[in-house]
């Protein structure tokens, strides 16, 4: 027996998540909203995750999809294709939902609303909440264009798991995650979705609707690989759907991301000069566009200018400053 006419589809990609998947699944099934369809996509796990998923196969709210390992975007796309809910939520297998996270979002949805954006509470790998500050406003109602600037700059929210999407809008426009991009593909999906909203509004709330568990391996977060530079393609695709009113904030974020990854690549000594030079060229083009769009007066803009002049020198100086700080 399966759930008929689900109101909301929760899509969870699963890859080697044996240590967290029970907490994740139980947090979804414990939601107050009964018309929840939970889609679990096993993305070629090599641990005990597939066996663990089988224990939920008979549950009326659970659907299980198994596929060869194709990456998180491939798994999410499989979930979208299988979804039937009027609304979509994405949850990562390492994370979990707070109580009533779904009903809290659904209560705000009406014909004039296309997206709900909430807050995420971070947790350490040991389960301790990480102190965070949240916006003072209880709720902000934005146009789709203003929401772009809000998510890019004013209240940065680059992921998908703290949002409630309209399922039919995603499916009817065949909106999918780009499986060739390994970095900022989430933000690309969000920006493409916002471009489809038309006159529908975006509601931002300060309620916590997602529990994000930080990675235990901090080295993974700090190291950089060539695949991370696929962010350049994400931003190139984003630019196609954004308007001129978004340019300043778009280029600000692009420069912030570009300089961060270039810094890591330069000081690592693991990238060839041609690769770094190509991304320095891209950075400088973006900086010129940023100047044309109208500069945001803050410390970052000064850093962007210095990095434009000499990326390698600034990177080495930054490395020395960080080393001196740790030594102190």
Question: SS3 for 21?
Answer: helix
- pLDDT, tens digit (0-9, with 9 covering 90-100), for 152-195: 999 999 999 999 999 999 999 999 999 999 999 999 999 999 99
pLDDT of 304 strictly over 60: yes
Q: What is the band of 219 on the pLDDT scale with cuts at 50, 70, 90?
A: very low
Band of residue 217 on the pLDDT scale cut at 50, 70, 90: low
Other C-beta atoms lying within 10 Å of the C-beta of residue 288: 12
Model confidence pLDDT, tens digit, residues 96-146: 999 999 999 999 999 999 999 999 999 999 889 998 888 777 899 999 999
* Distance separating alpha carbons of residues 286 and 65, to the nearest angstrom: 41
Report residue 215's pLDDT band, with 50, 70 and 90 as the boundaries: confident
Q: Name the pLDDT band for 325 (thresholds 50, 70, 90).
A: confident
Selection from 82, 58, 107 nearest residue 6 by Cα: 82
Rounded CA-CA distance 195/282 in Å is 25
User: pLDDT tens, 229-284?
Assistant: 999 999 999 999 999 999 999 999 999 999 999 999 999 999 999 999 999 999 99
SS3 114: strand
DSSP 105-136: HHTT--TTEEEEEEEEEEE-TTSPBPP----S
Superfamily of domain 8-218 in CATH is Spore Coat Polysaccharide Biosynthesis Protein SpsA; Chain A (3.90.550.10)
More confident residue, 131 or 50: 50
| Order of strands, sheet of 62-67, starting from the edge strand that comes earlier in the sequence | 62-67, 36-43, 8-14, 87-90, 163-166, 113-123, 201-213, 139-142
The reported pLDDT for the residue numbered 220 is 45
Q: Decide: 173 and 196 in contact? Cβ < 8 Å.
A: yes
CA-CA distance, 7 to 198, in Å (whole number)? 23
* Residues 6 or more apart whose Cβ sits within 8 Å of residue 307: 255, 259, 262, 283, 314
The domain spans of the chain are 8-218, 243-327
Q: What are phi and psi of 315, to 5 degrees?
A: -65, -45
């Amino acid at each position: 027996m399966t759930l008929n006419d689900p109101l909301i589809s929760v899509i969870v990609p699963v890859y080697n998540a044996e240590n967290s998947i029970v907490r994740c699944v139980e947090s979804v099934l414990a939601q107050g909203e009964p018309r929840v369809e939970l889609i679990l996509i096993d993305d070629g796990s090599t641990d005990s995750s597939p066996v663990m998923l089988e224990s939920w196969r008979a549950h009326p709210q659970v659907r299980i999809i198994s596929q060869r390992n194709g990456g998180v975007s491939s798994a999410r796309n499989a979930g979208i294709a299988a979804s039937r809910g009027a609304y979509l939520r994405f949850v990562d297998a390492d994370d979990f939902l707070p109580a009533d996270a779904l009903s809290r979002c659904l209560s705000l949805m009406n014909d004039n609303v296309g997206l709900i954006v909430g807050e995420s509470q971070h947790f350490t790998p040991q389960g301790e909440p990480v102190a965070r500050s949240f916006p003072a406003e209880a709720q902000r109602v934005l146009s789709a264009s203003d929401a772009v600037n809000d998510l890019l700059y004013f209240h940065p929210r680059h992921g998908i798991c703290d949002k409630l999407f309209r399922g039919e809008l995603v499916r009817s426009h065949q909106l999918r995650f780009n499986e060739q991009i390994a970095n900022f593909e989430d933000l690309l999906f969000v920006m493409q979705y916002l471009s489809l909203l038309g006159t529908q509004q975006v509601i931002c709330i300060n309620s916590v609707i997602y529990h994000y568990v930080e990675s235990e391996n901090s080295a993974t977060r700090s190291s950089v690989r060539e695949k991370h530079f696929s962010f350049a393609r994400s931003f190139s695709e984003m630019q196609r759907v954004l308007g001129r009113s978004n340019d300043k904030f778009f280029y600000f974020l692009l420069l912030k991301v570009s300089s961060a990854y270039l810094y890591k690549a330069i000081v690592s000594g693991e990238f060839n000069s041609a690769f770094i030079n190509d991304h320095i060229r891209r950075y400088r083009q973006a900086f010129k566009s940023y100047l044309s769009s109208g500069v945001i007066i803050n410390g970052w803009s000064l850093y962007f200018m210095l990095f434009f002049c000499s990326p390698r020198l600034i990177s080495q100086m930054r490395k020395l400053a960080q080393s001196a700080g740790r030594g102190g």
